[in-house]
Amino acid sequence: MTTAALTTSAVALDPAFENVWDELLWRGLVHVSTDQEALRALLGGDPITYYCGFDPTAPSLHLGNLVQLLTLRRIQLAGHRPLGLVGGSTGLIGDPRPTAERTLNTRETVEEWVGRLRAQVERYLSFEGENAARMVNNLDWTAPLSAIDFLREIGKHYRVGTMLKKDAVAARLNSDAGISYTEFSYQILQGMDFLELYRQYGCVLQTGGSDQWGNLTSGTDLIHRVEGVSAHAIGTPLITNSDGTKFGKSEGNAIWLDAEMCSPYRMYQFWLGTADADVVDRLKVFTFLTRAEIEEYATLVETEPFRRAAQKRLALEVCATVHGIEATAAVIAASEALFGQGDLAALDAATLRTALDELPNATVTAGTPVSEALVAAGLVSSVSEARRAILQGGVSLDGERVADDSATVQGSLPGGVSVLRRGKKTLAGIFLG
């Protein structure tokens, strides 16, 4: 499939909404916030500076972070100035998890991950024009601060009783693991970030996940206490699936934004598998499709669910946003060819290889009988079963039906691989070794 054959939505706000705040509400991106009327006026008025922070607790961001990245971009499209913060200092500490203490990473690891996350965040923002984005690192203002200065200038404004009531802290206090003073102090560091950004850039709004609400309000409270002004926060909802399963994982593995950690093919298939009950909400949160367009897809979900038009559009939009239109065109071509709607031999070798990595697969030598390859790949349990399937016409190799059980695997597809199919939908990749 060529890039010219693909059409994606423009990265723009929906003109049907007078104020970006109204669009954020319609898309379901506001789970909790400070004063809503004040926020509506703020986002509908003169340009403001706002920020979202990303901690380097892994070498890549994931789909949960994508909610924040797209929210940052939507608000920037309304004319406001984003700050993308990568937590070089908070990443050394770790945000308290509900169940157990984080393992502290080395300074060298955190520094490397800061660079990787910064590059990812930069892809979603515009660094041109009057409301150009800026990237910041909280290590710049935290590292020079002594422990005494931190306690005197920041710590004195916090009350332990209030800190204990924060959800993450309360959950840990009630667990067997307890909480260390290090992680207990995290909310102070994040509050200090907001204060510092207010002082340096006039930043008056922070966005983040609703599970971070205690940390978000740590900053708004600190700014009010120290500077005597009101700052704001928006907590986006945690995305969950309608069937109760955790969103953002496929077969137990996180869907990362880094192509080396999660291939574009795997990401595309993840979105393609979205349930009918969830797909409209996903279109609202993860795409720039307008309300009118999304309502059309909602109708198709109701009237022609078998076409999976909404899922295909969702997969196209998100995969193109994360990995680009060319990589998306390649994985769509691979997906269609693997399921009998395209030419396997015409696929890009690298894309085909990553697609087969996501399927059941096996490594065999050139000339291995197809019957044995079927067993090696787990498509059948025995050679005799494989031979029966071949004789019944239910097996294909590299897109061609296998006529008899003397056929062998030669790795005739690009990159020296083969594709075995049993029935209509059961596939396996065969690598030669």
Q: 348 and 375 share a domain?
A: no
Residue 251 has pLDDT above 80, yes or no: no
Tokens 């909280």, residue located: 138
Tokens 């100035």, residue located: 81
Residue 95 has pLDDT above 90, yes or no: no
Q: 285 and 338 share a domain?
A: yes
Choosing from 220, 236, 252, the residue where a domain stops is 236
Structural domain count, the chain: 3
Q: 61 and 115 share a domain?
A: yes
Widest CA span in the chain: 83
Note whether residue 326 is domain-resident: yes
Q: 228 and 162 share a domain?
A: yes
CATH of the domain at 290: 1.10.240.10
Which among 87, 91, 79, 84 is positioned nearest to 122, based on CA atoms? 84
Which of 140-154, 176-190, 229-243, 309-323 is least confident? Answer: 176-190
Residue 222 exposed, middle or buried by CB count within 10 Å (0-12, 13-18, 19+): buried
pLDDT tens digits, one per residue of 283-304: 999 999 999 999 999 999 999 9
**pLDDT of res. 102:** 85
Contact 316, 63 (CB under 8 A): no
How many Å apart are CA 385 and CA 408, to the nearest integer? 16
**pLDDT of res. 44:** 98
**pLDDT of res. 425:** 82
Residue type, 54: F
Query: Which residues make beta-bridge pairs with 218?
Result: none
Choosing from 320, 336, 357, the residue where a domain stops is 357
Give the containing element (helix H, strand E) for 52: strand 49-54
Q: 130 and 39 share a domain?
A: yes
Q: 100 and 222 share a domain?
A: yes
Contact 33, 235 (CB under 8 A): yes
Going by the DSSP 8-state scheme, the letter that residue 379 receives in this structure is S
From first CA to last CA, the distance across the chain in angstroms is 30
Residue type, 425: K
pLDDT tens digits, one per residue of 332-365: 999 999 988 889 999 999 999 999 998 999 999 9
Residue type, 239: I
**pLDDT of res. 210:** 95
How many Å apart are CA 45 and CA 78, to the nearest integer? 10
pLDDT tens digits, one per residue of 148-196: 999 999 999 999 988 898 888 888 888 877 889 899 999 999 999 999 9
Q: Taking the CA atoms of the chain, what radius of gyration do you get in angstroms?
A: 25
Q: 222 and 127 share a domain?
A: yes
**pLDDT of res. 3:** 56
Residue 67 has pLDDT above 90, yes or no: yes
**What tokens appear for 32 in the block?**
């909790």
Q: What share of the chain is helix, strand, coil (3-state, %, to 5)?
A: 50, 15, 35
CATH of the domain at 372: 3.10.290.10
What percent of the chain has pLDDT above 90? 83
**pLDDT of res. 48:** 98
Note whether residue 42 is domain-resident: yes
Query: Which residues make beta-bridge pairs with 364?
Result: 432
pLDDT tens digits, one per residue of 6-31: 889 999 999 999 999 999 999 999 99
pLDDT tens digits, one per residue of 188-235: 999 999 999 999 999 999 999 999 999 999 999 999 999 999 999 999
Note whether residue 23 is domain-resident: no
Which of 94-103, 359-368, 409-418 is least confident? Answer: 94-103
CATH of the domain at 163: 3.40.50.620
The CA distances from residue 387 to 364, 375, 427, in Å, are 18, 10, 17
Residue type, 144: P
**pLDDT of res. 62:** 96
398: left (phi over 0), alpha (psi -120 to 50) or beta: left
**What tokens appear for 150 in the block?**
């931190």
Q: Structural domain of residue 388, as residue ranges?
A: 359-433
Note whether residue 416 is domain-resident: yes
Neighbours of 272 (CB within 10 A): 16
Q: 76 and 113 share a domain?
A: yes
Residue 61 has pLDDT above 60, yes or no: yes
* pLDDT, the chain, mean: 94
User: What is the pairing mode between strands 203-209 and 49-54?
Assistant: parallel
Contact 121, 76 (CB under 8 A): no
How many Å apart are CA 178 and CA 161, to the nearest integer? 16
Contact 90, 110 (CB under 8 A): no
Neighbours of 10 (CB within 10 A): 8
Q: 226 and 97 share a domain?
A: yes
| pTM of the shown model | 0.92
Q: 162 and 196 share a domain?
A: yes
Choosing from 323, 342, 357, the residue where a domain stops is 357
Residue 2 has pLDDT above 70, yes or no: no
What percent of the chain has pLDDT above 70? 99
Q: 415 and 274 share a domain?
A: no
**pLDDT of res. 177:** 79
Q: Show Cβ contacts of residue 334 under 8 Å, excluding neighbours closer than 6 positions.
A: 265, 347, 348, 351, 352, 355
Neighbours of 202 (CB within 10 A): 11
Give the containing element (helix H, strand E) for 237: none
How many Å apart are CA 57 and CA 95, to the nearest integer? 9
More confident residue, 377 or 177: 377
Going by the DSSP 8-state scheme, the letter that residue 308 receives in this structure is -
User: Using 50, 70 and 90 to split pLDDT, how confident is the model at 422?
Assistant: very high
Give the containing element (helix H, strand E) for 210: none
Q: 88 and 225 share a domain?
A: yes
What three-state secondary structure class fits 421? Answer: strand
